[in-house]
A = this chain, B = another copy of it.
Amino acid sequence: MALTVSKTPTGSEYKVKDISQAVFGRLEIELAEVEMPGLMSCRSEFGPSQPFQGARITGSLHMTVQTAVLIETLTALGAQVRWCSCNIFSTQDHAAAAIARDSAAIFAWKGESLEEYWWCTEKALDWGPGVKAEEEYEKSGKLPDVNGCENGEYRIVLRIIKDGLLMDPTRYRRIKERLVGVSEETTTGVKRLYQMQANGSLLFPAINVNDSVTKKKFDNLYGCRHSLPDGLKRATDVIIAGKIAVVCGYGDVGKGCAAALKRAGARVIVTEIDPICALQALMDGNPVLTLENVVSEADIFLTTTGNKNIIMVHHMKQMKNNAIVCNIGHFDNEIDMHGLQTYPGVKRITVKPQTDRWVFPETNNGIIVLAEGRLINLGCATGHPSFVMSFSFTNQVIAQLELWKERGTGKYEKKVYVLSKHLDEKVAALHLGKLGAKLTKLTPAQAAYISVPVEGPYKPPQYRY
């Protein structure tokens, strides 16, 4: 795919798979709006005052139908938006087309190469490493050492930075000056932000949306409970009932996935490093064992850890013929894709996009790897459903509003923040009506008895839900 930017009649930039899919995308966006009451309510509450007037927002997030509703909520509140996906397989091309045609600059398609991915990111998003590179270049004239870098993907990043440096050596620093803040909604992303805060490399205030209860305990749990079996079924059509499924990790994502698999009739085995999560798995009826204990018996293997090197090629070799291997955790390094790809004599048979059978020469047994080790629910299905994403994205909108409103006030330092419990409860409240729920109201006497305001927040910060 030639990497050239197109423009709409109104001058908005984009690069998508097929702009003509905008019609289909619009239809699905309209369906999703009905399922996303939190975002729609942000539009009606904040839209009239245009709080994002003047704000330029760049997003790097799976370019799905739900994300389209988020983007159009941001634009409805006055923002200018540029967008790319954060995963090479997660874009829904019709959603991207509709956004490109109607609402924002967008650079995303399903099945990007890594090179294309970072090109899109560069088009949409200006990222941190550039500042350091520019400073080094100004000081010493040294360009990033692209070839000295072992990690193939990072080499691509460096080359793009290097190319940019030669064209405009102060660009990132100008961007940095203008940067008001960032909101981040993944466990993995937030962990990186806290690391940057700890080592002083955080260049801007950041709001950790992931740790809003209405994000982490809903998106991660209920979202995956929905979208994991969706991905498995679309990719393989294999029955889950009766199968043995190994879930590596029993955090919120693992809990949601294990529940989905068990309810579908699988026998679930959990691997864990954390004794507390392990005990939860046990009390939920799942044995806790090591991967080594079960590698040759199980039918489905799933990583949910946020860590690397969980399922190695030496594990894969021992699996049953047509065992399914997939990841719903963070990056594709949860599965040893490199080890698999470079295994001597291994044969890859692509059944369909994102469904590959890898055959080992010794046994002639194959394993079925989904989404090339990347997120199965986004690579093989359409990600979380709208209603759950409405929780997460309403948190995003509120976080962005807060960052923009408080720019220049000094309220937020170069640290990582979470949203207040009151806002968290508000996000939840915006979604109750859609499901016909009616809340009970505390009487003043009851509120006093448990020492909370009648209107909330109702729980202490350490409350775990």
Contact = CB atoms under 8 A, between A and B. Distances in A.
A458 interface: yes
A81 interface: no
Contact of A432 (B24, B275, B391): B275
Given A308-B446, A446-B307, A450-B307, A285 B321 contact: no
B439 A239 contact: no
A28 interface: yes
Contact of A425 (B27, B243, B276, B440): B276
Contacts of A131: none
Contact of A449 (B194, B264, B308, B351): B308
A439 B272 contact: yes
Given A239-B388, A241-B222, A465-B464, A266 B285 contact: yes
Contact of A242 (B27, B211, B306, B435): B435
A306 B442 CA distance: 13
Interface string A177-218: 000000000000001001100000000000000010110111
A67 interface: no
A277 interface: yes
Nearest to A390: B239
A424 B275 CA distance: 9
Contact of A65 (B237, B288, B297, B441): B237
Interface in A346-363: 349, 351-352, 357
A311 B236 CA distance: 33
Contacts of A322: 31, 34-35
Contact of A226 (B240, B307, B458): B240
A131 to B, nearest CB: 23
A398 B220 CA distance: 33
A216 to B, nearest CB: 7
Given A24-B351, A233-B230, A307-B446, A241 B274 contact: no
Interface residues of A, number: 110
A160 interface: no
A464 B216 contact: yes
A288 B446 contact: no
Interface in A35-51: 35
Given A285-B262, A349-B27, A242 B387 contact: yes
A35 B323 CA distance: 11
B216 A239 contact: no
Interface string A434-461: 0111111111011001110000101111
A128 interface: no
Contact of A280 (B272, B278, B450, B465): B465
Interface stretch (A8-16, A102-110, A166-174, A378-386): A378-386
A263 interface: yes
A309 B443 contact: yes
Contacts of A5: none
B237 A385 contact: yes
A149 interface: no
Given A217-B280, A230-B234, A288-B438, 14 more contacts: A31-B357, A216-B464, A218-B279, A218-B280, A225-B265, A233-B385, A241-B282, A241-B285, A252-B464, A267-B285, A267-B287, A276-B459, A278-B428, A279-B391
Interface of A: 24, 27-28, 31-32, 34-35, 65, 191, 194-195, 211, 213-214, 216-218, 222, 225-226, 229-230, 233-234, 236-244, 252, 262-267, 271-280, 282-291, 293, 297, 306-309, 321-322, 349, 351-352, 357, 368, 381-382, 385-388, 391, 418, 424-426, 428-429, 431-432, 435-443, 445-446, 449-451, 456, 458-462, 464-465
9 contacts: A34-B321, A213-B276, A216-B464, A226-B240, A230-B230, A267-B286, A271-B440, A288-B438, A464-B465
